[in-house]
Structure 1
Amino acid sequence: MRLDLFDLQLVLNIVETGSLTKGAERSAISLQACSERIKKLEQRYAVSLFTRHASGVKLTLAGQTLTEHAQQMLKQGRQLEQAMAPFAAGLNSNMVLWCNSSAQSEYLPQLLPQYLMQNPNVQIELKEAESNEIIAAIEQGTAQLGLISGFFKSSRLQTLEFADDPLVLICPQTHALAGHAPIQLAQTLAYPFVGLMQYHSLQQSIETQARLLGCSIQYRLRLPNFAAIAQVVANGVGIAIMPKRAALRLQALYAFHFVDLTGDWANRKLLLTARSFDGLALAYQHFSQFLIAQHHTLQRN
């Protein structure tokens, strides 16, 4: 016999009315059906739930124990129904994921279609920003979830590792740096660069590193995306810095060479961050779990 919430509610109705007959009426079943259900419950647990007397029924000690658990289980059942109702109704979940330019262009286009197909009532807005801007927004409560460079730290936020995201130098195949071993940024700054537009967070990060070295980057051209940069670099216009993942993808299309960069700022990781992952709304928690679960998949690609 399976435990039926209807039977538990029947027991409570009998307790509240003090009568099998009235309990059956409240449950909208016949007295015979009521008696049979109570008998099966008693047989299941090998106990007597009620004692009969002239004015009705009273609970036995076993019946009192069952009643206490029945109240808890019925309450949990109502809570479960409330929790499931939004999904049954197809209620939409709108989320905003803040991310740096590398996450937006190289990782999320691969992952988000899978998530959105699995969750048809979800809408996700991507908001690109510099990692330190994302941290500030989450600390201030204007953002919930972000993907940032591991180079940036905040003691007020929680982080989970999302992906390795090193930066490399790309250059024409005949360039003086083409056969170079891994190099430091300082060794590249004497050459003209091709860069992203000024508003791109990655380019701002590279320029910040150059200023820390007391230098400025000489740009021959600024372009809106990594594909355009790779094409121009392959044609010999200058050198550029981009995520290694983007360089590997674009090297199949354009003839350029890439060189690993040294330094913590270049050998970065992408981190998923929030003020408290356990404190996120359920939709954000589910999305966060999906993103982190993709870590090993991303490392293989």
Structure 2
Amino acid sequence: MHFDLADLRLFIHIGESPSLTQGARRAFLSPAAASARIKALEAQLDTRLLYRDSRGVELTPAGHNLLTHARLIMRQVDYLKAEFTRFGTDSAGHIRIFANTTAVTEFLPEVLAGFLAERPGVTVDLQERLSRDIVRGVLDGSSDMGIIAGPVEASGLQVMRFSTDRLVLIVPAGHELAGRRQVTLKQTLAYQHIGLHDGSTLLTFLRDHVERMGQSLALRIQMSSFEAICRMVEAGVGIGIIPESAALRHSRTMNLVTIALDESWAIRERSILVRELDALPGTVRALIATLMPDDAPVQAV
């Protein structure tokens, strides 16, 4: 059985698009030519890959399976190209990262700024995703590496823990909780919260814990960043739960009070997820080395 790499890349474009026409456009083909290639691929595999109707296309179960394998194959092809680029093994290439809210907004911008300044031939696609989507993305090859906080529930991944993420409560000066050394999540639910936008990993994480208690999180307003949350809290609009690193940084310029959360889940290990570290191109390994402490272990799950 022979697979044409151009056909696999076309199938990825179609599988990630709402219609065959849009997928064909991404592959710089006419819809008729793209359709003929996909039909030939179905004939070779002797199975149907797409459901076609007036609304567009949808992958069959076999199509989903092929999409996973095609992504992995094309990523390996990209890795091969990156390894033999004239810039060297870690000076050029493209890195795709799925990460949680804290990583995207707090520490990755600074890390990537220094990393990319030293490597003008490197480009990065950084996307904020929920933890389950980060794990899935690394497993199916959509992402070269993932960054999450908390336990990893997946098999077939290598996990590298590199730092600790602690969640804290912030309140405005003069708030009735301001004199407390620590509080539970339940004790905060009597007050209106300032939260992150829907789809953020932190808000989803907090809502899950609140729902397990049979209660709801009263959100007065949702913001797009930890800095914006801190400004709202300082103005007395509500209280918020954010990473300690963000609370300490913004407390230098804002009148905020930080209170420890008396919850076991408030302290979370940050981890880098990859399928196989040694199989990654030098560019990705170099970025991971930048994030990792020298003595950090690699754990398979």
Change over 3 Å in CA distance of 1:85–1:271 after alignment to 2: closer
Aligned residue pairs, count: 215
Q: How far off is 1:111 after superposition?
A: 1.1
Offset of residue 134 of structure 1: 0.2
Alignment of 1:71-220 (within 5 A): 86-87=86-87, 92-220=92-220
The residue type equivalent to 1:164 in the other structure is T
Separation of aligned partners in 1, 2:181 and 2:89 = 58
Aligned to 1:234: 234
Q: Deviations over 1:57-113 (max 9, x none)?
A: xxxxxxxxxxxxxxxxxxxxxxxxx96662269984111111101011111122111
Give the corresponding residue for 2:257. 257
1:16-70 CA-to-partner distances (Å, cap 9, x unmatched) read xxxxxxxxxxxxxxxxxxxxxxxxxxxxxxxxxxxxxxxxxxxxxxxxxxxxxxx
SS at match of 2:259: strand
Following superposition, the deviation at residue 148 of structure 1 comes to 0.5
Decide whether the 8 Å contact of 1:150 with 1:269 is kept in 2: yes
Segments of 4+ moved more than 3 angstroms: 82-85, 88-92, 293-296
- 1:117, CA displacement in angstroms? 1.5
What is the rounded CA distance, in whole Å, between the counterparts of 1:264 and 1:279 in structure 2? 36
1:128 Cα deviation (Å)? Answer: 0.5
Match of 1:283 in 2: 283
SS state at 1:237 partner: coil
Does structure 2 retain, via aligned residues, the 8 Å contact 1:163–1:295?
Answer: no
- Structure 2 contact 183–261 (Cα < 8 Å) conserved: yes
Task: Give, as a single letter, the amino acid of the residue that structure 1 aligns with 2:130.
Answer: E
SS of equivalent residue, structure 2 residue 262? coil
Judge conservation of contact 1:149–1:270 (CA < 8 Å) in 2. yes
Structure 2 distance, partners of 1:128, 1:284, is: 18
Instruction: Quote the offset at 1:293 in angstroms.
Output: 4.0
Query: Shift in Å at residue 295 of structure 1?
Result: 9.3
1:239 Cα deviation after fit: 0.6
SS for the counterpart of 1:177 is: coil
Q: Deviations over 1:176-227 (max 9, x none)?
A: 2111122221111111111111122211111111111111111111111111
Aligned mates of 2:287, 2:163 — CA distance in 1: 16
SS of 1:268's equivalent in the other structure is strand
For structure 2, the 5+ residue unaligned runs are 1-81, 297-301
Q: What is the one-letter code of the residue matched to 1:196? A: L
Separation (CA, whole Å) in 2 of partners of 1:294 and 1:214? 43
- Tell me, what secondary structure is at the counterpart of 1:198? coil
With over 3 angstroms needed to count, the CA separation of the structure-2 counterparts of 1:270 and 1:193, relative to structure 1, is same
> 1-side partners of 2:204 and 2:234: how far apart?
23
Backbone CA RMSD of aligned residues: 2.4
Q: Which has the larger radius of gyration?
A: 1
The 8 Å contact of residues 89 and 281 in structure 2, kept in 1 or not, is answered as no
* 1:91–1:283 Cα change, 3 Å: closer
Relative to 1, partners in 2 of residues 1:294 and 1:224: Cα closer, same or farther, differing over 3 Å? farther
Q: 1:294–1:241: structure 2 CA closer, same or farther, 3 Å change rule?
A: farther
Name the CA shift for 1:261/1:91 in 2 (closer, same or farther; >3 Å): closer
- Indicate if the aligned counterparts of 2:192 and 2:219 stay in contact, CA closer than 8 A: yes
Tell me what 2:292 maps to: 292
Secondary structure (helix, strand or coil) at the match of 1:278 reads helix
Q: TM-score, normalising length from structure 2?
A: 0.66
5+ unaligned residues in a row in structure 1: which ranges?
A: 1-81, 297-301
Whether the aligned pair in 1 keeps the contact of 2:233 and 2:256 (CA below 8 Å) is yes
TM-score normalized by the length of structure 1: 0.66
